Amino acid sequence: MAASVSVNVNGLANTGDWQDRYFHVKDFLRNKCRILVIGAANLALTGFKDIHVIDMDTIDISNLNRQFLFRVDPRQLVAAEYIMKRVPGVKIQDKDDNYYLQFNLARRWINATLVNLVDPENPESLKPLIDGGTEGFKGQARVILPTITSCYECSLDMLNKPTTFPICTIANTPRLPEHCIEWASVLEWPRIHGEKKLDTDDPEHITWLYTVAAARAKEFNIEGVTYSLTHGVVKSIIPAIASTNAIIAALLQYLNNYFMLIGTEGIYSYTFEHEKRKDCPVCGGESLEISISHETTMLTERQTIQIKKPSLATSAKHIYLQGPPQLEQATRPNLEKKVSELVEEGDPVIVTASTLPFDLSLVIKYT
């Protein structure tokens, strides 16, 4: 592992560095540092030797261009086997299904867990979270120091919403090739095939969708429907670019503290310090205040919260419960009611969900 410090004849770092710094860091990386990797990654070649890998993915044939360790087995097994042969002494430990069942949503879970682990009296309790990802020619990387920098929960509003198309648009006024493909898969497939399930890995099914979508596009003078686009839309395939992955991977350890890369038109990159949110439910320690109209119903969407299948309650009553089935059915009518009919202004609403690693407290303000 390369280092920028020089070493004198006595094996000590030169003036301006602490004694034995280089050897201390080298020994720490190779013999003491333990890394939890969410997603198979090749850290062993950088000096780390005790790596626990979490990655239960298998590889889509359509996504082979970035899979340097591709085999037919799950990739965490392939990566572990290859690296342990390549780097003598490295230990990569896989976990069974019971280990994975304790997690819900990896990033939010690990983020909240690391924040809760921090003990001001114990410096060793601060575990950095290094996070990065790519989407085609776009990428982001960040380093999170729990309780010191902004956490993952602080930046939820920066996540892109999944691309969806209104049913009325794809049914009546398509304008894009994607509208035609969605029409073929969402509306025409069940109309023609009934209960038969669409298999997005079956070439015959994709060919049928492509043919129907192309005919729909021709009817509305829309260009651009191709077999590959059809496959990409129905499987939500995001192109994987090896060069983007390499850039993001190289920058993961140097940031303060958020890096963005956009390479769709030229190359644009930007590094900035993402500030902590005072009302962050994980690292801010306060209730999240939201302002809504008196006419807002319980069925609403908030980009800063992003919770699937929540249960809601106040200190006085249950508003909606996901289960058991009897309680879900009993509280379901509340979803159609206005929030103002169920919650007094300033009364905290406690939100729980299987994908949420903490109880979220919302304070309602009416406008």
How high is the mean pLDDT of the chain? 76
Secondary element (H or E) of residue 1: none
Count CA within 13 A, CB hemisphere, residue 296: 17
Amino acid at 46: T
291 forms beta bridges with 365
Q: Any idea which residue has 């503290």 for tokens?
A: 257
* Backbone phi and psi for residue 198, each to the nearest 5 degrees, phi listed first: -75, 125
Q: What is the pLDDT of residue 113?
A: 80
Q: What is the pLDDT of residue 153?
A: 83
For 226, the 3-state DSSP assignment is coil
pLDDT band (50, 70, 90) for residue 227: very high
* Mean pLDDT (whole number) for 185-213: 92
The C-alpha atoms of residue 332 and residue 290 are separated, in whole angstroms, by: 23
pLDDT band (50, 70, 90) for residue 262: confident
Secondary element (H or E) of residue 198: none
Q: What is the pLDDT of residue 226?
A: 93
- Residue 43 pLDDT > 90: no
The C-alpha atoms of residue 259 and residue 98 are separated, in whole angstroms, by: 35
User: pLDDT exceeding 70 applies to what percent of the chain?
Assistant: 72
* Residues with catalytic roles: 168
Q: Tokens standing for 25?
A: 């860091």
More confident residue, 303 or 153: 153
* Mean pLDDT (whole number) for 107-127: 82
* Mean pLDDT (whole number) for 129-136: 83
- Residue 62 pLDDT > 60: no
User: Which of the residue ranges 40-44, 252-256, 356-360 has the most confident prediction, judged by mean pLDDT?
Assistant: 356-360
Q: What is the pLDDT of residue 310?
A: 84
- Residue 92 pLDDT > 70: no
Least confident of 28-32, 81-85, 297-301, 318-322: 297-301
Contact 206, 200 (CB under 8 A): yes
pLDDT band (50, 70, 90) for residue 47: low
* Mean pLDDT (whole number) for 212-236: 92
- Residue 364 pLDDT > 70: yes
- Residue 163 pLDDT > 50: yes
User: Which of the residue ranges 51-60, 72-81, 105-114, 271-280 has the most confident prediction, judged by mean pLDDT?
Assistant: 271-280
Q: What is the pLDDT of residue 4?
A: 35
Q: What is the pLDDT of residue 355?
A: 66
First to last CA, the chain: 58
User: pLDDT exceeding 90 applies to what percent of the chain?
Assistant: 13
Contact 48, 40 (CB under 8 A): no
Range 266-290 burial, b when 16+ CB lie within 10 A, else e: eeeeeeeebebbeebbbbbeeebeb
User: C-alpha dihedral over 176, 177, 178, 183, to 10 degrees?
Assistant: 100
- Residue 109 pLDDT > 70: yes
89 forms beta bridges with none
Query: C-alpha angle with apex 294: 288 to 297, nearest 5 degrees?
Result: 80
pLDDT band (50, 70, 90) for residue 214: very high
Q: What is the pLDDT of residue 256?
A: 66
Q: What is the pLDDT of residue 339?
A: 86
- Residue 61 pLDDT > 70: no
The C-alpha atoms of residue 222 and residue 180 are separated, in whole angstroms, by: 9
Pair type for strands 268-272 and 258-262: antiparallel
- Residue 71 pLDDT > 50: no
Surface-to-core class of residue 142, CB atoms within 10 Å of its CB (0-12 exposed, 13-18 middle, 19+ buried): buried
Which candidate, 29, 69, 66, places its Cα nearest to that of 46? 29
Contact 283, 115 (CB under 8 A): yes
The C-alpha atoms of residue 357 and residue 116 are separated, in whole angstroms, by: 11
* Spatial CB neighbours of 146, under 8 Å, sequence gap ≥ 6: 111, 114, 115, 117, 118, 126, 127, 128, 129, 283
Least confident of 14-28, 330-344, 349-363: 14-28
Q: What is the pLDDT of residue 155?
A: 83
More confident residue, 108 or 75: 108
